[in-house]
Amino acid sequence: MRIFSNDFKDGDKMPKRQVFNGMGYQGDNISPHLAWENAPQDTKSFVVTCYDPDAPTGSGWWHWVVVNIPASTRFLEQGTGSGMAILPPGALQTRTDFGMSGYGGAAPPKGESHRYIFSVHALDVEKIEVDAGASGAMVGFNVHYHALAHASITVNYV
């Protein structure tokens, strides 16, 4: 399985468009275009996440979580997580560590370098039973038990 983006490549610096607008940052806070291919044939749905493992929380930081993406979907348009494009039918954005659903861009403490891992997970179920208030950890727990494959792309904020 492979994930890619029109907005950046693996290892790139985080573009201003995907940086948070707040917490001392003046980014555009627009979710990136993400696309994937070569999912297992028996995939029934996808989950897309953005996670910062370097956040000084002891548990990282969930920046974006989208669940129950139909198996026929192969991309999310730029801005899907920012209300600028429509989610696929049945898909749901759940709560991030910003306390709300939707995309929240890079915003590390000043002077720190962080990694932002965008992942797509192919699942063996059409839907995981979570609601919009579910945390990234709760979604991750469900993904763990239903994942067939996953792919990631990492972008750095330096």
Question: The pTM is what?
Answer: 0.97
Name the helix (H) or strand (E) containing 64: strand 61-70
What integer pLDDT is reported at residue 58 of this predicted model?
94
**What integer is the mean pLDDT of 139-152?**
98
What integer pLDDT is reported at residue 122 of this predicted model?
98
What integer pLDDT is reported at residue 149 of this predicted model?
98
Residue-wise pLDDT for 81-138, tens only, equals 999 999 999 999 999 999 999 999 999 999 999 999 999 999 999 999 999 999 999 9
CA atoms of 69 and 94, how far apart (whole Å): 12
CA atoms of 122 and 69, how far apart (whole Å): 10
Tokens, residue 63 = 């920046």
Annotate 19-28 with b (16+ C-beta within 10 A) or e (fewer): bbeeeebebe
CA atoms of 123 and 146, how far apart (whole Å): 5
Q: Are 116 and 96 in contact (CB under 8 A)?
A: no
Beta-bridge partners for 26:
21
Tokens, residue 81 = 């997580």
Residue-wise pLDDT for 30-49, tens only, equals 999 999 999 999 999 999 99
What integer pLDDT is reported at residue 54 of this predicted model?
98
CA atoms of 56 and 100, how far apart (whole Å): 20
**What integer is the mean pLDDT of 40-68?**
98
Name the helix (H) or strand (E) containing 19: none
Residue-wise pLDDT for 5-35, tens only, equals 999 999 999 999 999 999 999 999 999 999 9
